[in-house]
Structure 1
Amino acid sequence: MNIIKRVTAIAALGLTLCSTAAYSKEHKIVLIHGFQPQQLIADGDVTASGQDYWKGYWNDLSDARIDWPSYERIEGKIATDYVWPKLKAFSESNFCDPGCIFVTHSTGDLVARYIIDNQETWLENAGLAPLNIVATFDIAGAGGGSELADLAVSVAQGTESWTFIIEAALEAWLGGDLGDEMGVLHDLKVNNARQLAPLPDARIPRLRFVGDATEYLGVTSPFIQGNDDGVVGTHSSCGGNRQARFGSCSTQLAFNGKISYQGNAVSGFMPYHYPMLMGEKYSHGSLLEPWQAGKVTAVSNQENTLSGESIHFNTYTKTSGWWIWKSNYLYVENSASDSMSTLIYDAIPN
């Protein structure tokens, strides 16, 4: 491809480097947003919605986004009309030659898994080179589905009785009345999500970042199995290989950083899914924001990308209490002042 065509392809794709910080990273950062319930009510502009989704912190630090509409299905128009054109342009412009890191939030985790499972075949069939995806950073990942989607679809289909509590939960989550348009909610049902591209051949590490603070004044949490961030349960956000009432991503560490045996922790993970950080006071949405919501603990303080670079978090241990009430806590350095998103971004290799 000559230089004019390459510049044209990049411009058409909208790969604008929005800040000098993005230039300093070794790999390209690609954002994949989550479910946007307002799109089930009014379609709106997909690109504008995608930009607005990340405006709190990540948008100006990224190199590209893959925007998609919540009123469509992943295996349908999301893949053909929104994902494929981006992947094609990435390949044609050699965008991922330095290595791409996908930063996902919520349902973006599921979209990324579908991309990972299919991108090599799609691009090779088009006579193009597959993308060099070296890792995904999955924030509040919904790759294991959300019980709220099961509830919403069941209510819409008349298989779940309508109650005041259910109405309050769904209206809080969706931001309004439940309509006829379900779109990606079908894909977000727990069983459906777990059957969508569950075992990609690619060995791309999927690094997980998890919160445990509820949203919507707690009205959604009774419908979600195990600990949750107000939208997805720990079984999903940790990358667990099954749905259950899990209380931590680690058998040795509580969400608040306490070093102690956790009998209700996730006992098995989906292939190449690695929990990294947990934050007791971070909710589904606040994980993306620039403000600090509480100290963070590290399930694992180091993992490597597919190309071998280290994703590392410095940690320290603090002792609290006295005598038989004494406990040890593990925290990530700077988590008392920096947001979870800041900690994640700072860990991306320069």
Structure 2
Amino acid sequence: MTQPPLLDIKDLTVEFRQGRRTPPLRAVDTVSLSIAPGETVGLVGESGSGKSTIGRAVLGLNRVHSGQVHFEGRDVTHASSRLRRGLSARLQVVFQDPYSSLNPARTIGQTLAEPLLAHGKPRKQEIRDRIAEMLPRVGMPADTADRYPGQFSGGQRQRIAIARALMPEPRLVICDEPVSALDLSIQAQVMNLLADLQRDLDLSYLFIAHDLPVVRHLSHRIVVLYRGQVMETGPAATLYDDPVHPYTQTLLAAVPQPDPTAQRARTAKRGTATTVAAPPPAGCVFAHRCPHAVDLCRRERPPLLPLPDGRAAACHRTAELHPHAKARQSQPHTVRKHS
């Protein structure tokens, strides 16, 4: 029997006001996705695509204009501060910058104790025991608890930030660009750590990044965003190896390849980048950059259509350009978890 999703987002729209006479900025536009227990869903797209805005909306840090967010079967779209405090033990976040996410005036032990103290009054020995358990789990020595953030490297600080997120034993962790500020060698270590923790603790991740290969490394499924809209979604390996949406192809074309021939074969026309601050066009938001765009693309927004291999793509020309991935039906697709 299929388990209900741990996180279920339906038609999420987030807007930001820009002044009385200026139309609101639509940062996220009717996005749907879900995450099953023990699953990682990668959210990928360039800067300004709305990735972090979705994560912040789930956490209650950004106001939802329309749509719904359900966590553990409960509607938390407009949850009160009191309800949010109760949820935070099971819903945690790891931010991008390990240098600003830790208070430099507090010891690591004090920082790790904060999530436990926020959800009750545990005994001091219970806190010490939990810290002693978590630090080795993230690859840090026990004496880390008595030291300060300034005594650690960026990679070590991010391990500590991960330990802090895991202190209250959450079910879902939102990883918002958790390795983008780290050197490549350290990125791999942190990614492997996250994978090990997921296996050992049965965690679910919403993994947000702009780098598609990084997202692929950890994700079961990937959702590709552009200007606040879903362009393509599907199993990580399938989407990475055989993308059908022109924007996904553009993202992959930007990935350095050791084989120059392969690099040339994957290079796609990129067009001119447009920030999310520009008003959305009537048609496909990627039409101005797409090498395959026709008049229909500029007039009508394409629905997100399901494909036979478990993917979905928002492109009018998918069936024409990729006959093997012909859409099964003409109804818009809501991104759902796999079994």
Do the structures match in fold with TM over 0.5?
no
Question: Comparing both structures, which one devotes a greater share of its residues to strand?
Answer: 2
TM-score, normalised via structure 1 length:
0.30
TM-score, normalised via structure 2 length:
0.31
